[in-house]
Amino acid sequence: MVVNLSKHFSLLNQWVAEIRDLEVQQDRMRFRRNLERIGEVAAYEISKTLPYDTSETQTPMGTATSKVLQQQPVLATILRAGLPLHQGLLNYFDRADNAFISAYRKHQPDGSFEISLDYISCPDLDNRVVIIADPMLATGASLVKTLQYLRDEGEPKEIHIVTAIACTVGIEYVHRNEPNVRIWCGAVDDELTAKGYIVPGLGDAGDLAYGNKQQS
Ligand SMILES: O=P(O)(O)OC[C@H]1O[C@H](OP(=O)(O)OP(=O)(O)O)[C@H](O)[C@@H]1O
Ligand SMILES: O=c1cc[nH]c(=O)[nH]1
Ligand SMILES: [Mg+2]
């Protein structure tokens, strides 16, 4: 299942336009904050699909009956570009457990790349709702590899992926390998370059959030 959050008119459309905009991208703080806001909206939308318990709350004037989340999710993210989006999810799921994974494109001299995974910090995932934040779903290779890695930490009850911009081929690749995951995205773009960049996309999300890195 794919939910494109910009299908309906909302402020999120403006934030997606800003993270794509060459001029606005010069303001790194706004770039990160817009990703965070997209994460906040995604958290709110996902929260509508989760199970709730009824609880009694004592007010100064009496007892109120409320609906409270049965269990907080596990929020996972892929370093580095995932961090601001993850923070947005954490702002709303503020008692969540968290997982961090390092996955990056290791480039070869011929321009090809493979996904390198070398660090994971993760709670037990058995029977948990897991939400993975990564702003760019391009080929989908990072997410599929991350999910394979995460499965060593337990079998989640549900897996959600939150991304700012998803590419059609990447969505298809993820669903071929992980048919049950739900993808929540801020926009869907159709084109992918030979080097794996989304068009029109936004460029390199990690560099725009945190600065250029040396090629590895
Ligand atoms: O769908 P894929 O083709 O796997 O590409 C998407 C990945 O590329 C970006 O990370 P990048 O490797 O640029 O690392 P960074 O966050 O450190 O910049 C992005 O944050 C995803 O993790
Ligand atoms: O377009 C893309 C593809 C992968 N990673 C990015 O940051 N941008
Ligand atoms: Mg990058």
Q: What proportions of the chain, in percent to the nearest 5, are helix, strand and coil?
A: 35, 35, 30
CA–CA separation, 33 vs 186, rounded Å? 14
Q: Mean of the pLDDT values across residues 121-129?
A: 97
Q: Which of 137, 171, 197 to mutate to test the pocket of ligand 2 (most atoms within 8 A of CB)?
A: 197
Nearest residue (by CA) to ligand 1, atom 18, is 206
Q: Which CATH class is domain 2-50+74-210?
A: alpha beta
How many beta carbons lie within 10 A of that of residue 32, not counting itself?
21
How does pLDDT run across 136-174, given as a tens digit for each residue? 999 999 999 999 999 999 999 999 999 999 999 999 999
Tell me the CA–centroid distance for residue 96 and ligand 1, in Å: 24
Return the ligand 1 atom nearest residue 135 CA. 20
pLDDT, tens only, 54-103 = 999 999 999 999 999 999 999 999 999 999 999 999 999 999 999 999 98
The pLDDT tens digits of the residues spanning 171-205 come to 999 999 999 999 999 999 999 999 899 999 999 99
Residue 216 has a pLDDT of 58
The domain limits of the chain are 2-50+74-210
Nearest ligand, measured from the Cα of 197: 2
